[in-house]
A and B are shown apart, each in its own frame.
Chain A
Amino acid sequence: MYILETKNLKKSFGGVHALNDLSISFAKGKLTGIIGPNGSGKTTLVNVLTGMQAITGGAVVVGGKSLHAIRPEELPRLGITRTFQDVRLFEQMTVGDNIMVVLTARGPYAALTERSERKREERVKEVLEKVGLWEKRHQLAYNLSYGQRKLLEITRVLAMDADIILLDEPFAGLFKEMVKVIVHIIGELKAAGKTVLLIEHNMDLIRELSDHVIVMDAGGLLAEGKPDAVLARHDVIEAYLGE
Protein backbone atom coordinates (compact mmCIF):
# COMPACT_ATOMS: atom_id res chain seq x y z
CA MET A 1 0.00 0.00 0.00
CA TYR A 2 1.37 3.36 -1.02
CA ILE A 3 1.04 6.28 1.34
CA LEU A 4 2.75 8.83 -0.91
CA GLU A 5 2.93 9.01 -4.70
CA THR A 6 3.88 11.46 -7.40
CA LYS A 7 1.98 11.42 -10.69
CA ASN A 8 3.80 12.97 -13.66
CA LEU A 9 5.26 15.51 -11.27
CA LYS A 10 6.95 18.47 -12.93
CA LYS A 11 9.01 21.31 -11.49
CA SER A 12 10.66 23.84 -13.75
CA PHE A 13 12.92 26.78 -12.99
CA GLY A 14 12.69 28.89 -16.12
CA GLY A 15 13.74 26.51 -18.88
CA VAL A 16 15.33 23.97 -16.52
CA HIS A 17 13.25 20.92 -15.70
CA ALA A 18 14.32 19.91 -12.20
CA LEU A 19 11.55 17.30 -12.03
CA ASN A 20 10.53 15.82 -15.33
CA ASP A 21 7.30 13.80 -15.40
CA LEU A 22 8.30 11.96 -12.26
CA SER A 23 5.95 9.15 -11.19
CA ILE A 24 7.12 7.27 -8.12
CA SER A 25 5.48 5.65 -5.09
CA PHE A 26 6.47 5.21 -1.46
CA ALA A 27 5.22 2.19 0.48
CA LYS A 28 3.69 2.75 3.89
CA GLY A 29 5.94 1.88 6.81
CA LYS A 30 9.00 1.37 4.62
CA LEU A 31 12.25 3.28 4.26
CA THR A 32 12.89 4.36 0.70
CA GLY A 33 16.40 5.50 -0.16
CA ILE A 34 16.58 8.19 -2.83
CA ILE A 35 19.91 8.44 -4.61
CA GLY A 36 21.21 10.13 -7.71
CA PRO A 37 24.04 12.41 -8.81
CA ASN A 38 24.11 16.06 -7.77
CA GLY A 39 21.48 18.02 -9.69
CA SER A 40 19.30 14.97 -10.31
CA GLY A 41 16.35 16.59 -8.51
CA LYS A 42 16.38 14.81 -5.13
CA THR A 43 16.17 17.93 -2.96
CA THR A 44 13.74 19.56 -5.40
CA LEU A 45 11.50 16.52 -4.95
CA VAL A 46 11.55 16.96 -1.17
CA ASN A 47 10.97 20.70 -1.51
CA VAL A 48 7.96 20.13 -3.76
CA LEU A 49 6.56 17.39 -1.51
CA THR A 50 6.75 19.77 1.46
CA GLY A 51 5.36 22.87 -0.25
CA MET A 52 8.65 24.77 -0.11
CA GLN A 53 8.52 25.00 -3.90
CA ALA A 54 5.35 25.14 -5.98
CA ILE A 55 4.36 22.26 -8.26
CA THR A 56 4.67 23.16 -11.95
CA GLY A 57 2.64 20.20 -13.22
CA GLY A 58 1.30 16.80 -12.24
CA ALA A 59 0.18 15.86 -8.74
CA VAL A 60 1.23 14.53 -5.38
CA VAL A 61 -1.01 11.86 -3.83
CA VAL A 62 -0.95 11.69 -0.03
CA GLY A 63 -2.98 8.94 1.61
CA GLY A 64 -5.07 8.58 -1.55
CA LYS A 65 -5.80 12.30 -1.87
CA SER A 66 -4.52 14.00 -5.01
CA LEU A 67 -2.96 17.45 -4.50
CA HIS A 68 -1.90 19.92 -7.16
CA ALA A 69 -0.57 22.42 -4.65
CA ILE A 70 0.86 21.94 -1.18
CA ARG A 71 1.39 24.66 1.40
CA PRO A 72 3.90 24.19 4.24
CA GLU A 73 1.22 24.83 6.87
CA GLU A 74 -0.74 21.83 5.57
CA LEU A 75 2.09 19.40 6.35
CA PRO A 76 1.12 18.60 9.95
CA ARG A 77 -2.42 17.78 8.77
CA LEU A 78 -1.01 15.62 5.96
CA GLY A 79 1.27 13.91 8.46
CA ILE A 80 4.47 14.97 6.70
CA THR A 81 7.63 16.45 8.13
CA ARG A 82 11.22 16.86 6.97
CA THR A 83 14.80 17.79 7.72
CA PHE A 84 16.96 20.05 5.56
CA GLN A 85 20.27 19.50 3.82
CA ASP A 86 21.40 22.78 5.41
CA VAL A 87 19.99 22.52 8.91
CA ARG A 88 17.16 24.96 9.67
CA LEU A 89 16.50 25.46 13.35
CA PHE A 90 14.96 28.28 15.36
CA GLU A 91 18.40 29.72 15.98
CA GLN A 92 17.61 32.27 18.68
CA MET A 93 15.59 29.81 20.75
CA THR A 94 16.87 27.29 23.26
CA VAL A 95 17.17 23.61 22.41
CA GLY A 96 14.20 22.90 24.68
CA ASP A 97 12.04 25.60 23.12
CA ASN A 98 12.89 24.36 19.61
CA ILE A 99 11.06 21.17 20.56
CA MET A 100 8.42 22.77 22.78
CA VAL A 101 7.21 25.04 20.00
CA VAL A 102 6.36 22.17 17.64
CA LEU A 103 4.23 20.47 20.29
CA THR A 104 1.78 23.35 20.36
CA ALA A 105 -1.74 22.96 19.12
CA ARG A 106 -3.38 26.35 19.06
CA GLY A 107 -7.01 27.26 19.29
CA PRO A 108 -8.14 30.79 18.44
CA TYR A 109 -7.68 32.16 21.94
CA ALA A 110 -5.48 29.55 23.56
CA ALA A 111 -2.21 30.91 22.23
CA LEU A 112 -2.35 34.12 24.23
CA THR A 113 -3.01 32.45 27.53
CA GLU A 114 -1.62 28.95 27.45
CA ARG A 115 1.54 28.22 29.38
CA SER A 116 4.11 25.54 28.96
CA GLU A 117 2.23 22.62 30.39
CA ARG A 118 3.73 19.72 32.26
CA LYS A 119 2.64 17.25 29.57
CA ARG A 120 4.55 19.12 26.89
CA GLU A 121 7.56 19.52 29.15
CA GLU A 122 7.59 15.79 29.75
CA ARG A 123 7.47 15.12 26.02
CA VAL A 124 10.35 17.57 25.44
CA LYS A 125 12.36 15.79 28.12
CA GLU A 126 11.54 12.38 26.69
CA VAL A 127 12.73 13.15 23.15
CA LEU A 128 15.77 15.19 24.21
CA GLU A 129 16.91 12.47 26.62
CA LYS A 130 16.47 9.88 23.89
CA VAL A 131 18.99 11.68 21.64
CA GLY A 132 21.28 12.88 24.43
CA LEU A 133 20.52 16.60 24.11
CA TRP A 134 18.67 17.06 27.41
CA GLU A 135 21.77 18.55 29.07
CA LYS A 136 21.85 21.20 26.33
CA ARG A 137 18.19 22.19 26.73
CA HIS A 138 18.95 25.73 27.93
CA GLN A 139 21.51 26.48 25.20
CA LEU A 140 20.56 28.54 22.16
CA ALA A 141 20.35 26.39 19.03
CA TYR A 142 22.72 28.87 17.41
CA ASN A 143 25.49 27.78 19.81
CA LEU A 144 25.28 24.04 19.09
CA SER A 145 27.96 22.18 17.14
CA TYR A 146 27.18 21.08 13.57
CA GLY A 147 26.48 17.51 14.62
CA GLN A 148 24.25 18.59 17.49
CA ARG A 149 22.32 20.85 15.12
CA LYS A 150 21.66 17.93 12.78
CA LEU A 151 20.61 15.87 15.77
CA LEU A 152 18.25 18.56 17.07
CA GLU A 153 16.58 18.80 13.67
CA ILE A 154 15.93 15.05 13.70
CA THR A 155 14.70 15.34 17.29
CA ARG A 156 12.15 17.87 16.07
CA VAL A 157 10.97 15.24 13.59
CA LEU A 158 10.68 12.72 16.43
CA ALA A 159 8.67 15.17 18.52
CA MET A 160 6.24 15.90 15.70
CA ASP A 161 5.35 12.22 15.38
CA ALA A 162 4.44 12.56 11.69
CA ASP A 163 3.69 9.48 9.57
CA ILE A 164 5.83 10.47 6.58
CA ILE A 165 9.36 11.68 7.28
CA LEU A 166 11.64 13.14 4.62
CA LEU A 167 15.31 13.19 5.56
CA ASP A 168 17.55 15.23 3.26
CA GLU A 169 21.14 14.04 3.72
CA PRO A 170 20.96 13.62 7.50
CA PHE A 171 24.47 12.11 7.69
CA ALA A 172 26.31 14.72 5.59
CA GLY A 173 29.42 15.99 7.37
CA LEU A 174 28.89 13.96 10.55
CA PHE A 175 31.57 12.02 12.40
CA LYS A 176 31.17 8.29 13.01
CA GLU A 177 29.65 8.39 16.49
CA MET A 178 26.97 10.85 15.45
CA VAL A 179 26.19 8.74 12.35
CA LYS A 180 25.59 5.79 14.70
CA VAL A 181 23.19 7.86 16.83
CA ILE A 182 21.19 8.95 13.78
CA VAL A 183 21.17 5.41 12.31
CA HIS A 184 19.72 4.26 15.63
CA ILE A 185 17.02 6.97 15.53
CA ILE A 186 16.09 6.05 11.96
CA GLY A 187 15.89 2.41 13.07
CA GLU A 188 13.44 3.44 15.78
CA LEU A 189 11.35 5.39 13.27
CA LYS A 190 11.18 2.29 11.05
CA ALA A 191 10.25 0.12 14.02
CA ALA A 192 7.46 2.57 14.85
CA GLY A 193 6.01 2.02 11.37
CA LYS A 194 6.91 5.43 9.96
CA THR A 195 7.33 5.94 6.24
CA VAL A 196 10.79 7.37 5.69
CA LEU A 197 12.31 8.92 2.55
CA LEU A 198 16.07 9.12 2.88
CA ILE A 199 18.23 11.14 0.52
CA GLU A 200 21.81 10.01 0.98
CA HIS A 201 25.08 9.71 -0.94
CA ASN A 202 26.66 7.10 1.32
CA MET A 203 25.84 3.80 -0.41
CA ASP A 204 26.74 1.67 2.60
CA LEU A 205 24.12 3.50 4.66
CA ILE A 206 21.59 3.25 1.83
CA ARG A 207 22.21 -0.51 1.68
CA GLU A 208 21.96 -0.88 5.44
CA LEU A 209 18.82 1.18 6.00
CA SER A 210 16.68 1.04 2.85
CA ASP A 211 13.83 -1.35 2.10
CA HIS A 212 13.57 0.09 -1.38
CA VAL A 213 15.80 2.37 -3.46
CA ILE A 214 14.86 4.96 -6.06
CA VAL A 215 17.53 6.31 -8.37
CA MET A 216 16.91 9.73 -9.90
CA ASP A 217 18.71 11.28 -12.84
CA ALA A 218 17.97 14.55 -14.65
CA GLY A 219 14.70 15.00 -12.77
CA GLY A 220 13.35 11.59 -13.75
CA LEU A 221 13.34 8.01 -12.51
CA LEU A 222 16.36 6.00 -13.60
CA ALA A 223 15.86 2.80 -11.60
CA GLU A 224 14.15 1.38 -8.53
CA GLY A 225 14.05 -1.84 -6.56
CA LYS A 226 15.83 -3.71 -3.76
CA PRO A 227 19.03 -1.93 -2.66
CA ASP A 228 21.53 -4.63 -3.68
CA ALA A 229 19.96 -5.16 -7.09
CA VAL A 230 19.66 -1.46 -7.89
CA LEU A 231 23.14 -0.52 -6.70
CA ALA A 232 24.67 -3.25 -8.87
CA ARG A 233 23.04 -1.96 -12.07
CA HIS A 234 25.42 -0.69 -14.70
CA ASP A 235 23.31 2.34 -15.65
CA VAL A 236 23.12 3.42 -11.98
CA ILE A 237 26.88 3.17 -11.55
CA GLU A 238 27.34 5.06 -14.81
CA ALA A 239 24.97 7.87 -13.75
CA TYR A 240 26.88 8.25 -10.49
CA LEU A 241 30.41 7.95 -11.82
CA GLY A 242 29.79 9.41 -15.27
CA GLU A 243 31.44 6.48 -17.00
Chain B
Amino acid sequence: MYIPYVDIVPQLIANSVIAGAIYALIALGFNLIYGTTKFFNLAHGAVAACGAYAVFAILKTFALPVNIVVACAIGAFVAGIIGYGLERLIYRPLRRRKASNMVLMVASLGAFTALQAFIAILFTSQFQALESSGGISGAIEIYGAIITHTQVVIITCGIAIMAILAFIAKYTLFGKAVSAIKDDEEVARMVGIDTDRIIGKVFFIGSAIAGVAGILIGFDTGIEPTMGMNLLLKGTIASIIGGVGSLYGGFLGAFVLGFAENFGIWKISGEWKDAIAFVVLIVFLLVRPEGIIKK
Protein backbone atom coordinates (compact mmCIF):
# COMPACT_ATOMS: atom_id res chain seq x y z
CA MET B 1 0.00 0.00 0.00
CA TYR B 2 1.34 3.43 -0.90
CA ILE B 3 1.29 5.87 1.99
CA PRO B 4 1.59 9.43 0.77
CA TYR B 5 3.98 11.81 2.56
CA VAL B 6 5.81 9.00 4.33
CA ASP B 7 9.01 9.95 2.53
CA ILE B 8 8.96 13.45 3.89
CA VAL B 9 8.27 12.54 7.53
CA PRO B 10 11.87 11.54 8.44
CA GLN B 11 13.13 14.80 6.93
CA LEU B 12 10.50 16.79 8.82
CA ILE B 13 11.54 15.08 12.06
CA ALA B 14 15.21 15.78 11.31
CA ASN B 15 14.46 19.42 10.48
CA SER B 16 12.44 19.73 13.69
CA VAL B 17 15.27 18.32 15.79
CA ILE B 18 17.81 20.61 14.10
CA ALA B 19 15.61 23.69 14.59
CA GLY B 20 14.92 22.60 18.17
CA ALA B 21 18.64 22.27 18.89
CA ILE B 22 19.34 25.77 17.52
CA TYR B 23 16.50 27.31 19.51
CA ALA B 24 17.65 25.33 22.56
CA LEU B 25 21.12 26.84 22.36
CA ILE B 26 19.63 30.34 22.34
CA ALA B 27 16.99 29.53 24.95
CA LEU B 28 19.48 27.89 27.33
CA GLY B 29 21.63 30.99 27.55
CA PHE B 30 18.64 33.30 27.57
CA ASN B 31 16.94 31.37 30.38
CA LEU B 32 20.13 31.12 32.38
CA ILE B 33 20.43 34.91 32.32
CA TYR B 34 16.71 35.56 32.79
CA GLY B 35 16.43 33.05 35.63
CA THR B 36 19.25 34.74 37.52
CA THR B 37 18.55 38.41 36.83
CA LYS B 38 14.78 38.37 36.06
CA PHE B 39 14.99 40.62 33.03
CA PHE B 40 14.65 39.97 29.31
CA ASN B 41 18.14 40.47 27.93
CA LEU B 42 17.22 41.44 24.37
CA ALA B 43 20.89 41.91 23.47
CA HIS B 44 21.22 38.11 23.62
CA GLY B 45 20.43 37.75 19.90
CA ALA B 46 23.04 40.30 18.87
CA VAL B 47 25.60 38.61 21.12
CA ALA B 48 24.95 35.38 19.18
CA ALA B 49 25.63 37.28 15.95
CA CYS B 50 28.85 38.66 17.45
CA GLY B 51 30.07 35.10 18.00
CA ALA B 52 29.39 34.23 14.37
CA TYR B 53 31.11 37.38 13.07
CA ALA B 54 34.13 36.78 15.32
CA VAL B 55 34.61 33.44 13.55
CA PHE B 56 34.00 35.14 10.20
CA ALA B 57 36.70 37.68 11.03
CA ILE B 58 39.16 34.95 11.98
CA LEU B 59 38.52 32.64 9.03
CA LYS B 60 37.62 35.07 6.24
CA THR B 61 38.51 38.69 6.94
CA PHE B 62 41.95 38.00 8.37
CA ALA B 63 42.18 34.42 7.09
CA LEU B 64 44.18 33.45 10.16
CA PRO B 65 45.79 30.02 9.96
CA VAL B 66 43.84 28.52 12.85
CA ASN B 67 41.93 25.30 13.19
CA ILE B 68 38.16 25.68 12.73
CA VAL B 69 37.47 24.35 16.24
CA VAL B 70 39.88 26.88 17.72
CA ALA B 71 38.20 29.65 15.70
CA CYS B 72 34.79 28.56 17.03
CA ALA B 73 36.11 28.47 20.61
CA ILE B 74 37.48 32.00 20.17
CA GLY B 75 34.12 33.09 18.68
CA ALA B 76 32.21 31.70 21.68
CA PHE B 77 34.73 33.35 24.02
CA VAL B 78 34.26 36.70 22.25
CA ALA B 79 30.46 36.39 22.61
CA GLY B 80 30.93 35.53 26.29
CA ILE B 81 33.17 38.54 26.84
CA ILE B 82 30.68 40.85 25.08
CA GLY B 83 27.84 39.52 27.25
CA TYR B 84 29.98 39.94 30.37
CA GLY B 85 30.95 43.44 29.22
CA LEU B 86 27.30 44.44 28.83
CA GLU B 87 26.64 43.21 32.37
CA ARG B 88 29.61 45.08 33.83
CA LEU B 89 29.21 48.32 31.88
CA ILE B 90 25.44 48.67 31.55
CA TYR B 91 23.28 46.26 33.56
CA ARG B 92 25.22 46.18 36.84
CA PRO B 93 25.45 49.99 37.18
CA LEU B 94 21.72 50.16 36.41
CA ARG B 95 20.90 47.50 39.03
CA ARG B 96 22.99 49.45 41.56
CA ARG B 97 20.76 52.44 40.80
CA LYS B 98 17.73 50.26 41.55
CA ALA B 99 16.62 50.27 37.91
CA SER B 100 13.46 48.29 37.24
CA ASN B 101 13.46 45.25 34.96
CA MET B 102 11.71 47.36 32.33
CA VAL B 103 14.61 49.83 32.34
CA LEU B 104 17.09 46.96 32.04
CA MET B 105 15.13 45.50 29.13
CA VAL B 106 15.09 48.84 27.31
CA ALA B 107 18.83 49.18 27.93
CA SER B 108 19.36 45.71 26.47
CA LEU B 109 17.34 46.73 23.41
CA GLY B 110 19.72 49.66 23.02
CA ALA B 111 22.68 47.31 23.34
CA PHE B 112 21.12 45.00 20.75
CA THR B 113 20.71 47.83 18.26
CA ALA B 114 24.21 49.17 18.89
CA LEU B 115 25.86 45.76 18.49
CA GLN B 116 23.91 45.05 15.31
CA ALA B 117 24.90 48.42 13.84
CA PHE B 118 28.50 47.87 14.89
CA ILE B 119 28.58 44.52 13.07
CA ALA B 120 27.09 46.13 9.93
CA ILE B 121 29.71 48.91 10.02
CA LEU B 122 32.57 46.44 10.33
CA PHE B 123 31.36 43.66 8.03
CA THR B 124 28.69 45.32 5.78
CA SER B 125 24.99 44.48 5.88
CA GLN B 126 25.05 41.85 3.19
CA PHE B 127 24.43 38.16 3.69
CA GLN B 128 27.66 36.16 3.82
CA ALA B 129 28.66 32.54 4.00
CA LEU B 130 30.71 31.16 6.84
CA GLU B 131 31.60 27.84 5.31
CA SER B 132 35.15 26.68 5.55
CA SER B 133 37.11 24.62 3.09
CA GLY B 134 38.80 22.55 5.77
CA GLY B 135 35.81 22.45 8.05
CA ILE B 136 32.59 20.59 8.47
CA SER B 137 31.07 19.63 5.15
CA GLY B 138 29.18 16.63 3.82
CA ALA B 139 25.99 14.97 4.99
CA ILE B 140 24.59 11.73 6.36
CA GLU B 141 21.32 9.95 5.69
CA ILE B 142 19.15 8.50 8.45
CA TYR B 143 15.94 6.72 7.36
CA GLY B 144 15.79 8.88 4.28
CA ALA B 145 16.45 12.15 6.09
CA ILE B 146 19.47 14.11 4.96
CA ILE B 147 21.39 15.81 7.77
CA THR B 148 24.53 17.81 7.07
CA HIS B 149 27.56 17.39 9.28
CA THR B 150 27.07 20.95 10.50
CA GLN B 151 23.56 20.02 11.60
CA VAL B 152 24.90 16.95 13.40
CA VAL B 153 27.24 19.26 15.28
CA ILE B 154 24.30 21.58 16.08
CA ILE B 155 22.26 18.72 17.56
CA THR B 156 25.24 17.35 19.47
CA CYS B 157 26.12 20.79 20.87
CA GLY B 158 22.51 21.45 21.90
CA ILE B 159 22.28 18.22 23.87
CA ALA B 160 25.83 18.38 25.26
CA ILE B 161 25.51 21.96 26.50
CA MET B 162 22.17 21.16 28.13
CA ALA B 163 23.77 18.18 29.90
CA ILE B 164 26.75 20.27 31.07
CA LEU B 165 24.48 23.04 32.40
CA ALA B 166 22.28 20.50 34.18
CA PHE B 167 25.39 19.00 35.78
CA ILE B 168 26.69 22.41 36.88
CA ALA B 169 23.27 23.36 38.28
CA LYS B 170 22.89 20.18 40.29
CA TYR B 171 26.35 19.30 41.46
CA THR B 172 28.50 22.42 41.79
CA LEU B 173 28.42 25.13 44.39
CA PHE B 174 28.37 27.64 41.53
CA GLY B 175 25.08 26.05 40.41
CA LYS B 176 23.69 26.21 43.93
CA ALA B 177 24.72 29.86 44.23
CA VAL B 178 22.90 30.61 40.96
CA SER B 179 19.79 28.85 42.32
CA ALA B 180 20.00 30.90 45.51
CA ILE B 181 20.21 34.15 43.53
CA LYS B 182 17.23 33.03 41.42
CA ASP B 183 15.17 32.49 44.57
CA ASP B 184 16.12 35.59 46.59
CA GLU B 185 19.02 37.77 45.50
CA GLU B 186 18.91 39.95 48.61
CA VAL B 187 19.15 37.01 51.00
CA ALA B 188 21.82 35.46 48.79
CA ARG B 189 23.92 38.61 49.25
CA MET B 190 23.19 38.59 52.97
CA VAL B 191 24.48 35.04 53.45
CA GLY B 192 27.74 35.85 51.69
CA ILE B 193 27.19 34.87 48.08
CA ASP B 194 29.07 37.27 45.82
CA THR B 195 26.06 37.92 43.60
CA ASP B 196 27.83 40.37 41.28
CA ARG B 197 30.55 37.87 40.50
CA ILE B 198 28.10 35.00 40.01
CA ILE B 199 25.85 37.10 37.75
CA GLY B 200 28.93 38.17 35.76
CA LYS B 201 29.81 34.51 35.19
CA VAL B 202 26.22 33.72 34.27
CA PHE B 203 26.36 36.42 31.60
CA PHE B 204 29.65 35.06 30.30
CA ILE B 205 28.41 31.46 30.12
CA GLY B 206 24.96 32.34 28.73
CA SER B 207 26.46 34.65 26.10
CA ALA B 208 29.14 32.15 25.10
CA ILE B 209 26.38 29.56 24.53
CA ALA B 210 24.55 32.14 22.39
CA GLY B 211 27.83 32.63 20.51
CA VAL B 212 28.01 28.88 19.83
CA ALA B 213 24.45 29.05 18.44
CA GLY B 214 25.33 31.99 16.21
CA ILE B 215 28.47 30.29 14.90
CA LEU B 216 26.70 27.01 14.12
CA ILE B 217 23.84 28.76 12.36
CA GLY B 218 26.44 30.74 10.46
CA PHE B 219 27.99 27.51 9.18
CA ASP B 220 24.56 26.05 8.45
CA THR B 221 22.77 28.92 6.69
CA GLY B 222 25.13 31.93 6.59
CA ILE B 223 25.36 35.19 8.50
CA GLU B 224 24.03 38.73 8.34
CA PRO B 225 24.04 41.49 10.96
CA THR B 226 20.29 41.16 11.57
CA MET B 227 20.44 37.41 12.22
CA GLY B 228 20.25 38.08 15.96
CA MET B 229 16.65 39.27 15.88
CA ASN B 230 15.22 36.02 14.52
CA LEU B 231 17.37 34.02 16.93
CA LEU B 232 16.23 36.18 19.82
CA LEU B 233 12.56 35.85 18.91
CA LYS B 234 12.69 32.09 18.54
CA GLY B 235 14.82 31.64 21.65
CA THR B 236 12.43 33.82 23.64
CA ILE B 237 9.36 31.96 22.36
CA ALA B 238 11.03 28.64 23.25
CA SER B 239 11.79 29.99 26.74
CA ILE B 240 8.25 31.20 27.31
CA ILE B 241 6.49 28.07 26.11
CA GLY B 242 8.95 25.87 28.02
CA GLY B 243 8.88 27.90 31.24
CA VAL B 244 10.79 31.14 31.34
CA GLY B 245 13.86 31.01 33.57
CA SER B 246 13.85 27.20 33.67
CA LEU B 247 16.83 25.36 32.21
CA TYR B 248 14.88 22.24 31.26
CA GLY B 249 11.87 24.33 30.22
CA GLY B 250 13.86 26.28 27.65
CA PHE B 251 15.31 23.07 26.24
CA LEU B 252 11.92 21.37 26.01
CA GLY B 253 10.21 24.48 24.65
CA ALA B 254 12.83 24.73 21.91
CA PHE B 255 12.04 21.26 20.59
CA VAL B 256 8.28 21.78 20.89
CA LEU B 257 8.73 24.94 18.81
CA GLY B 258 10.97 23.18 16.30
CA PHE B 259 8.44 20.39 15.77
CA ALA B 260 5.46 22.79 15.66
CA GLU B 261 7.13 24.96 13.02
CA ASN B 262 8.33 22.16 10.77
CA PHE B 263 5.24 19.97 10.94
CA GLY B 264 3.09 23.11 10.71
CA ILE B 265 4.43 23.83 7.22
CA TRP B 266 4.08 20.25 6.04
CA LYS B 267 1.27 21.12 3.68
CA ILE B 268 1.52 24.87 3.47
CA SER B 269 4.15 27.38 2.42
CA GLY B 270 7.33 27.73 4.45
CA GLU B 271 6.54 31.43 4.75
CA TRP B 272 4.11 30.46 7.49
CA LYS B 273 6.89 29.23 9.79
CA ASP B 274 7.23 32.42 11.84
CA ALA B 275 3.46 32.87 12.00
CA ILE B 276 3.14 29.34 13.37
CA ALA B 277 5.78 30.09 16.02
CA PHE B 278 3.84 33.10 17.23
CA VAL B 279 0.51 31.24 17.14
CA VAL B 280 2.09 28.60 19.39
CA LEU B 281 3.32 31.39 21.66
CA ILE B 282 -0.11 33.01 21.89
CA VAL B 283 -1.80 29.67 22.55
CA PHE B 284 0.62 29.00 25.40
CA LEU B 285 0.18 32.48 26.83
CA LEU B 286 -3.59 31.97 26.83
CA VAL B 287 -3.72 28.37 28.03
CA ARG B 288 -0.56 27.83 30.07
CA PRO B 289 1.26 31.13 30.61
CA GLU B 290 3.69 29.59 33.10
CA GLY B 291 5.02 27.28 30.34
CA ILE B 292 5.36 23.52 30.08
CA ILE B 293 7.55 23.25 33.17
CA LYS B 294 5.71 24.98 35.95
CA LYS B 295 7.69 26.04 39.02
CA distance A52 to B189 in the complex (A): 10
Q: Do B174 and A114 have beta carbons less than 8 Å apart?
A: yes
Residue count of chain B within 8 Å CB distance of chain A: 25
Q: Do A106 and B194 have beta carbons less than 8 Å apart?
A: yes
Q: Do A101 and B173 have beta carbons less than 8 Å apart?
A: yes
Chain-B contact segment, one of A74-82, A171-179, A215-223:
A74-82
Q: Do A114 and B179 have beta carbons less than 8 Å apart?
A: no
B193 within 8 Å of A by Cβ?
Answer: yes
Chain B residues with Cβ below 8 Å from A116 are 171-173
CA distance A50 to B174 in the complex (A): 25
- Chain B facing A: main interface SS: helix
Using an 8 Å CB-CB cutoff, how does the interface string of B164-208 with A read, 1 for contact, 0 for none?
A: 000000011110110110111011111111110110010000000
CA distance A106 to B193 in the complex (A): 8
Chain B residues with Cβ below 8 Å from A100 are 173, 176
Residue of A nearest to B196 (CB): A73
Taking the nearest CB of chain A, how far is it from the CB of B37, in angstroms?
A: 16
Contact status of A73 and B180, CB under 8 A, knowing A106-B194, A111-B198: no
CA distance A89 to B186 in the complex (A): 11
B295 within 8 Å of A by Cβ?
Answer: yes
Contact status of A52 and B186, CB under 8 A, knowing A73-B195, A160-B192: yes
Contact status of A115 and B172, CB under 8 A, knowing A92-B179, A106-B177: yes
Give which listed residue, B174, B176, B179, B194, contacts A73 with CB less than 8 A.
Answer: B194
Q: Do A156 and B171 have beta carbons less than 8 Å apart?
A: no
Chain B residues with Cβ below 8 Å from A104 are 173, 176-177, 192-193
Residue pairs across A and B with CB atoms within 8 Å: the count is 91
Chain A residues with Cβ below 8 Å from B179 are 90, 92-93, 97, 101
CA distance A160 to B190 in the complex (A): 11
Taking the nearest CB of chain B, how far is it from the CB of A194, in angstroms?
A: 17
Q: Do A92 and B182 have beta carbons less than 8 Å apart?
A: yes
CA distance A43 to B192 in the complex (A): 21
A108 within 8 Å of B by Cβ?
Answer: yes
A181 within 8 Å of B by Cβ?
Answer: no
CA distance A160 to B193 in the complex (A): 12
Chain A residues with Cβ below 8 Å from B187 are 88-90
Give which listed residue, A72, A81, A102, A111, contacts B186 with CB less than 8 A.
Answer: A72
Give which listed residue, A93, A101, A115, contacts B193 with CB less than 8 A.
Answer: A101
Q: Do B177 and A76 have beta carbons less than 8 Å apart?
A: no
Contact status of A114 and B172, CB under 8 A, knowing A93-B180, A97-B179, A160-B191: yes
Q: Do B197 and A112 have beta carbons less than 8 Å apart?
A: no
CA distance A52 to B191 in the complex (A): 13
Which residues of chain A (59-111) have a CB below 8 Å from chain B? 71-73, 75-76, 81-82, 88-93, 97, 100-102, 104-106, 108, 111
Chain A residues with Cβ below 8 Å from B191 are 76, 81, 101-102, 156, 160
Using an 8 Å CB-CB cutoff, how does the interface string of A39-51 with B read, 1 for contact, 0 for none?
A: 0000000000011
Contact status of A92 and B177, CB under 8 A, knowing A106-B197, A160-B191: no
Chain A residues with Cβ below 8 Å from B177 are 101, 104, 106, 111
Chain B residues with Cβ below 8 Å from A89 are 183-184, 187
Taking the nearest CB of chain B, how far is it from the CB of A99, in angstroms?
A: 10
CA distance A115 to B176 in the complex (A): 10
7 interchain residue pairs of minimum CB distance = A76-B192, A90-B183, A72-B189, A102-B191, A111-B174, A72-B190, A73-B189
- Since A106-B173, A111-B172 are in contact, a sample of 8 more A-B pairs with Cβ atoms closer than 8 Å, ordered by chain A residue number, is A97-B176, A101-B173, A101-B180, A101-B188, A102-B191, A104-B173, A104-B176, A106-B193
- Measured CB to CB, the residues of B under 8 A from A are 171-174, 176-177, 179-180, 182-184, 186-195, 197-198, 201, 295
